[in-house]
Amino acid sequence: MTFGGGGTSPITDHVHDNNPGEGGQLSKTLTLMGPDILFSLITDNTAQVNANTANISTNASSIATNATDIGTNTAAIAAIPSPAWNRIVNETKPGGSGNFDVTGLTSTSKYLMFTFAGSFGGADKLRLRLGTGGSIDTGNNYSWRSGRNGSYSGAGSTNTIEIMTSNSGGGNNFFVSGFMQLNAASDGTGTADTRLGNLTTNQDDSTPDVYVTSFEWNDSGTPITNIRFYSGGGNDIRGTLCIYESQD
C-alpha cells in the first residue's frame, strides 16, 4: 500500500546514505561505529558521576577551610601594630649648650629605643638623665656599669648615667643606640620598681672605641616626660636624636 503525501506522487522506500538532505552522514557514522562503540555510548556512567560529585564536595570543603584560614590570617595581620615602633622624638640641634634636652613627652609606652648621632665642641664625656612630671631627676637614683672595648670600665650609683666615660680629644663624634624598659618588671607584677636599659656607643676618637653601658633608674613614675643627653665637661653637644616608643 502506498500513501499520498498531499500530491499525486507516492512516497517510495529510501535509505539514509550520503545523499544531501536525507541525513546520510549520521546514518553512515552510526553504521561505521560498530556495536561495541555504540554500547559504550549508552553505558551507565552513574559511578563516574558519583565520583565527580564526591570530588566537588571535597573541593568545596577545602575552599571553606581555606576561607577560614584566610579569615584567621587577616585577623592576625590586623592585630599586628603598625608600625611596631612609633617615633616620638626627632630633634636636631647645632650646639650652643652642653645639654641636649627633650621635654614635654606625654607617652612612652613600655619600651623606648634610642638612636643619637652627635659630637662635642671639645674633648668630653657623654651622660644621660631622665625625668617625670616635667623636670629632670638629678637625685642619686641612677646605677650604671660600663665596658670599653670589651673591658670593664667603671660603675656607680650616682645622680647620672655615664654612657661614654672618656674622650681623648682626637675625635668627638659618637653614635648611641639601645633600649630601655619602662614598666615590664621581671617579677611578673606588671609594674617595674626600677627601669632598666642598655646602650651601645661607638666613639670616633683618635682610636675608635665601643662602649656598652647597662643602667637602672629607680623611678616608676609614668610617663617619662624629660630625657637629657649632656656633656660631662660642659662642652657644646650637637647632633640628631631619635626616640621611639613601642606599640605595646
Whether residues 120 and 152 share a domain: the answer is yes
Q: Over the stretch 136-146, which tens digit does the pLDDT of each residue have?
A: 999 999 999 99
Question: Which residues, given as ranges, of the chain have pLDDT below 50?
Answer: 1, 3, 16
What was the pLDDT predicted at 36? 64
Three-state SS string over 89-105 comes to: EEEEECCCCCEEEECCC
How far is C-alpha 220 from the geometric centre of its chain's CA atoms? 29
What was the pLDDT predicted at 190? 56
Whether residues 149 and 58 share a domain: the answer is no
Q: Dihedral (C-alpha) 140, 145, 149, 150: value to the nearest 10 degrees? A: 180
Has residue 9 been placed in a domain? no
> Residue 103's domain is classified under what CATH number?
2.60.120
Domain boundaries, position 39: 24-78
Has residue 230 been placed in a domain? yes
Has residue 1 been placed in a domain? no
Short-list 153, 146, 129, 135, CA closest to 218 = 129
Question: 155-190 burial string, b = 16+ CB within 10 Å, else e?
Answer: ebeeebbbbbbbbeeebbebebebebbbbbeeeeee
